[in-house]
Amino acid sequence: GTMWRGAAPAGRRTAFHVDFAPSVRVERWFNDAVSVHRGALMYSLPIAANYTTYAHHFGARDMSSDYYLSPTSPWAYALDLDLQDPGQSLAFVRVGAPGAAPFNHTGWPVMIRARARPLAGWGVAENSAA
């Protein structure tokens, strides 16, 4: 980001308009992987999963536990992107007003639409995508 400095005379009403409309961008990673961002948020494909508790550390059962997640929906997709101009292939969509828990696993107020295709050869090794 950048900083802006402007003069506002004392005793007068001054209005400033700030446009918080960040662009969609991608960050490139190892093995041609990318992450999709808009502003401070990073977006991902929602993947349905079974949660299994494998360790509990403190307090009530839902306070401090470790979970093993196994996917129950497809997850191995490649994005069809224009890496030079990701805004042309990724569309920011506002789908509602932020609720009481905007970072919950359902009912997101915003999303990014993208074109993708399944990758049949992308599997699992040592309990991780490989």
Class of residue 76 by CB neighbours under 10 A (exposed 0-12, middle 13-18, buried 19+): middle
Residue bearing the bigger pLDDT, 123 or 114: 114
The confidence score (pLDDT) of residue 15 equals 85
The continuous run of DSSP H or E covering 31 comes out as none
**pLDDT of 46 strictly over 80:** yes
Domain boundaries, the chain: 24-118
Across residues 90-117, what is the average pLDDT? Answer: 86
> What is the phi/psi pair of residue 51, to 5°?
-105, 125
**In whole numbers, what is the pLDDT of the chain averaged over residues?**
87
Distance CA 43, CA 27 (A): 12
3-state DSSP assignment of residue 1? coil
**pLDDT of 55 strictly over 70:** yes
The confidence score (pLDDT) of residue 118 equals 95
**pLDDT of 1 strictly over 70:** no
The confidence score (pLDDT) of residue 76 equals 93
pLDDT digits (tens, 9 = 90+) for 63-97: 788 988 899 999 999 999 998 898 889 999 988 88
